[in-house]
Amino acid sequence: MLPEFKALRRKCRRSKIKIPDEPYFSNADEFVGLQRKFICESFFQSLTLWFDMVLYPIFIFIRVCMQNFSVMYVIALSKTYTLWIEWFRFKELSEKVKTWTHVVRSVSGPWISTNDPDYHVYVYADGMERIKYALKKKSQVS
């Protein structure tokens, strides 16, 4: 059952919830994409990811120390750099999603559901949007 915005505003006021104005659904979209990349289903995928992120840069460093440098190493290092940047972004979004979960559950959410656990992030993004709308509506009325 969807909450009435008056009741939701009251719960948010009682809990003293303040949420940032950010694009929750686009963050959820990005999180789902990164989750597919970094949460591996098979051992081979995990091994490949570890090789790309850890072992290959060590190998390149050893080859450079041996003064055997190639342009291909630069391409491989750029891929490794991109993977690490995406990994840190994934961890940052993971923390945001945990915060969303806590906030939405603190006001008796979620209010919609999904059968696919990969897309459960969208449930909390929807909850955050509803809370943001309820709080914004409160500030417009006051």
Which of the pair, 1 or 106, is modelled with greater confidence? 106
Domain assignment present for residue 122? The answer is yes
Q: What's the full length of the chain, in residues?
A: 142
Question: CA torsion angle for 92, 96, 99, 103 (degrees, to 10)?
Answer: 170
Contact 114, 120 (CB under 8 A): yes
Residue predicted with more confidence, 122 or 110: 122
Domain residues for 35?
24-141
pLDDT at 140: 59
Return all residues near 122 (Cβ < 8 A) that are at least 6 apart. 25, 28, 32, 114
Mean pLDDT across 51-62: 90
How much is the average pLDDT of 113-132? 90
Does residue 113 lie within any of the structural domains? yes
Q: How many of the other CB atoms lie within 10 Å of CB of 4?
A: 10
Provide the domain count of the chain: 1
So what's the pLDDT on residue 2?
56
Helices (H) and strands (E) in the chain, counts: 6, 0
Separation of CA 125 from chain center:
11
- Among residues 89, 101, 111, which one has the least CA distance to residue 19? 101
In a domain, 9, yes or no: no
15 within domain boundaries = no
Res 50: pLDDT: 92
Render pLDDT for 19-51 as a digit per residue (tens, 0 to 9). 888 999 999 999 999 999 999 989 999 999 999
The string of pLDDT tens digits covering residues 60-100 is 888 888 877 778 888 888 999 999 999 999 999 999 999 99
Judge whether residue 123 has pLDDT over 90: yes
Secondary structure of residue 24 in the 3-state scheme: helix
Q: Is residue 97 part of a domain?
A: yes
The answer to whether residue 18 is domain-embedded is no
Q: Is residue 77 part of a domain?
A: yes
In a domain, 38, yes or no: yes
pLDDT averaged over the chain? 87
